[in-house]
Amino acid sequence: MQNFLFRRGRVIDPARGIDQVADVLVVDGRLMDIQPDLKIGMDWLANVHQFDMDGKWIVPGMLDMHVHLREPGEEYKETIASGTRAAVAGGYAGVACMPNTKPVNDTAAVTQFILEKARQEAACHVFPVAAISRGLQGEHLTEFGELRESGAVAVTDDGRPVMNSLLMRRALEYARIFDLLVISHAEDLALAEGGLMNEGPISTLLGLRGIPNAAEDAMVARDILLAELTGGRLHIAHVSTAGSVRLVRDAKKRGVPVTAETAPHYFTLTDSELLSFDAVFKVNPPLRSAEDRESVREGLADGTIDVIATDHAPHSLLEKDTEFEYAASGMIGLESALPLVLELVRCGVLDASKAISKVTCNPSKILGVPMGTLNPGKAVTLTVIDPKVDYILDCKSFESKSRNCPFHGRQVQGRVELTLVEGKIAYSRS
Ligand code: DOR
């Protein structure tokens, strides 16, 4: 039975300007009505699952536009099945998956493989993001038209920057023809060379080679100039520095077609975590200073940063539990993001509606995918959140195959209760 009645939920749908306590009726998996105090006949009620929401939030199914699903090729870290199970447990009804798989998603065949696998095994929507350059080698562009036609929603060489400025220019020009988004992993490899963490007093103290903010800022500046030159749609991935925030803010003011995302670890943690020498805190770009974290929060608050994505980057114990220098970069995030987003609401950085927009309508608009709002008459995709519940994050209970979670053991508030994807229960906590 796919009939649900959610009583007295706080319905937050930023795309439609809704933030009110209301009842939500779903019939045959379709959203029929959102209204305060819906009147429903007794005969009907027998056929409906009733949920007393008591102020719990009902939001459009969340979308994470930056996820590494690792399939094909590194299924020991994550698969399309396990990664999407982690997604729905974290409240996400859709994920965009990065192309640094093995093989790289640089052909229509790999994109189609991902979509076919997702059709068979995924717990939520999967939107493939294809590579900008063949094999992520930064030399030859991939076939954007074919990739678009086979279902890719954007292109990126994420995990690596496109160092060749001419190739990036051509990518932005070529992407325009197919209305593809170009996602920039902004890192100047020469400046970052050999770096293991943020460059600053803590890297000096630890004697670890640092990555300066300028490694990110220089490439953000370059890519903004190229977006301005070409008119191509540019999206800056995983913003971590004050400089990037400033550059994107100024570019937006000038009307450059640029958007940006950050991840919970950049607005929550700083490079002081590295004092533990624990490689769970090793990530690229690296955790930055407290000033950078503050700027990222300001960027979220004033709308410079449109999206909160997780950059869910699963790695096995083999790659993480080793000497810091040799450990892989990356953190999982799908099952810990929501309470950290809610922390921003509790400490007044964002109001509830703005926070929800950064995980629903903003990423769906940027990617151009049909999610992000509660559409009456359509198969319903929504997330139910209990914003009040206190608990300790325990990555041992996660659906993800990997355990590289920097928030393990953290006291948090707010949890996903239910994720509905296209009218069906994809995740239920009870
Ligand atoms: O830390 C990171 N890990 N940063 C990236 O850009 C890639 C990711 C990965 O694929 O592991």
Strands, sheet with 307-308, edge to edge from the N-terminal-most edge strand? 62-67, 92-97, 125-130, 154-156, 181-184, 234-236, 258-262, 307-308
- Distance (angstroms) between ligand 1 centre and the Cα of 44 equals 50
Whether 275 and 207 map to the same domain: the answer is yes
Nearest residue CA, atom 4 of ligand 1? 284
> Using a 6 Å cutoff on CB, does residue 91 contact ligand 1?
no
The Å distance, Cα 329 to ligand 1 centre, comes to 6
Q: Are residues 185 and 143 in the same domain?
A: yes
> Do 254 and 363 belong together in one domain?
yes
Using the mean position of ligand 1's atoms as its centre, give its distance from the Cα of residue 68 in Å: 8
Q: 154 with 118, same domain? A: yes
Q: What is the pLDDT of residues 300-350, one digit of tens each?
A: 999 999 999 999 999 999 999 999 999 999 999 999 999 999 999 999 999
Long-range Cβ contacts of 49-54 (<8 Å, 24+ apart): 49/1, 49/3, 49/4, 49/5, 50/4, 50/5, 50/7, 51/4, 51/5, 51/6, 51/7, 51/384, 51/418, 52/7, 52/8, 53/6, 53/7, 53/8, 53/9, 53/10, 53/384, 54/8
Q: Is the CB of 184 under 6 A from ligand 1?
A: no
CB within 8 A of 194, min separation 6: which ones? 209
Checking DSSP bridges between strand 4-13 and strand 49-52, what pairing results, if any?
parallel
Residues 388 and 260 in one domain: no
240 lines ligand 1 (CB under 6 A): no
Q: Is 375 left (phi over 0), alpha (psi -120 to 50) or beta?
A: beta
> Does the annotation mark 278 as catalytic?
no
DSSP output for 139-208: SSB--HHHHHHHT--EEE-TTS----HHHHHHHHHHHHHTT-EEEE----HHHHTT--EE-SHHHHHHT-
Residues 292 and 304 in one domain: yes
**219 shares its domain with 360:** yes
Q: pLDDT of the chain along its 430 residues, tens only?
A: 689 999 999 999 999 999 999 999 999 999 999 999 998 887 777 889 899 999 899 999 999 999 999 999 999 999 999 999 999 999 999 999 999 999 999 999 999 999 999 999 999 999 999 999 999 999 999 999 999 999 999 999 999 999 999 999 999 999 999 999 999 999 999 999 999 999 999 999 999 999 999 999 999 999 999 999 999 999 999 999 999 999 999 999 999 999 999 999 999 999 999 999 999 999 999 999 999 999 999 999 999 999 999 999 999 999 999 999 999 999 999 999 999 999 999 999 999 999 999 999 999 999 999 999 999 999 999 999 999 999 999 999 999 999 999 999 999 999 999 999 999 999 999 8
Residues 239 and 106 in one domain: yes
The total number of structural domains in the chain stands at 2
Active-site residue among 179, 250, 311, 390? 311
Six-digit token string for 295? 């700027």
The alpha carbon of 78 and the centre of ligand 1 are apart by a number of angstroms equal to: 14
Task: Residue 68: give the domain boundaries.
Answer: 60-367
Does the Cβ of 94 fall within 6 Å of ligand 1? no
Same structural domain for residues 329 and 397? no
Mutate to test the pocket of ligand 1, among 183, 219, 284 (most ligand atoms within 8 A of CB): 284
